[in-house]
Amino acid sequence: MHRGRNTQSTPVNGNFLSLAVALDTPARAAFAPALVSAPVIQRSPLLLADGWRDYQLLSCGFGMKQERWGRVNLVRPDPQVIWPKADGPEWRGWDGFYHRSAEGGGRWEFKKQPPEHWTIGYERLGLTFRIQPTSFKHTGLFPEQAVNWEWSSALIKQARAAGREINVLNLFGYTGAATCAAAKAG
């Protein structure tokens, strides 16, 4: 940032925030105190759902991801996967592959038909979930949400230990996993 006679540096949250202001302009001078006292935006740490034993993201690329759900390896589309995939043996070791249809939806292709449904556990919270591939590529669970289950469980346990009444409103009740985690926590 340009440093000159019209630059102000102010300590904010242990950091110095520098702001160049043309103080001879009345309008800018009026905004300077508010801008200097604004909080510094800091990046939050990346939270990883890495507490799984029964789920694993095996590989991903070109809009597809391969995951292990218990003993079943599934390949399915994911529009957030925009990078190239590595060509490796893991891409040949799938049990189920979801083929998207041009008309919408799609269908599963299975090399060997898995059970209609099976269970996987999230041991950190003592939870067990039923997995069942659907006609619209989902499995009935979003494993990346485990970080949110752990966070809410910790808050609930802290509140309970402090003797507070527990009330939870789950606004992402699609799978019911967060509700189960909250109920298990107390």
pLDDT for 38 equals 65
Is residue 124 over pLDDT 60? yes
Distance of CA 18 to the CA centre of its chain: 33
pLDDT for 37 equals 64
- Average pLDDT in the chain: 84
Least confident of 30-34, 143-147, 182-186: 30-34
The span from the CA of 145 to the CA of 122, in Å, is 11
94, with CB counted inside 10 A (0-12, 13-18, 19+), is: buried
Is residue 20 over pLDDT 70? no
**pLDDT tens digits, residue range 136-145?**
999 999 999 9
The span from the CA of 71 to the CA of 95, in Å, is 9
In this structure, are residues 37 and 59 in contact, taking their beta carbons and an 8 Å threshold? Answer: no
pLDDT for 42 equals 80
Is residue 4 over pLDDT 70? no
181, with CB counted inside 10 A (0-12, 13-18, 19+), is: buried
pLDDT for 27 equals 57
Q: What is the mean pLDDT of residues 128-152?
A: 96
**pLDDT tens digits, residue range 35-91?**
566 677 788 888 899 999 999 999 999 999 999 999 999 999 999 999 998 777 778
The span from the CA of 182 to the CA of 152, in Å, is 7
Q: pTM for the whole thing?
A: 0.73
pLDDT for 44 equals 81
Map out the domains of the chain as residue ranges: 7-36
Q: What is the mean pLDDT of residues 108-133?
A: 96
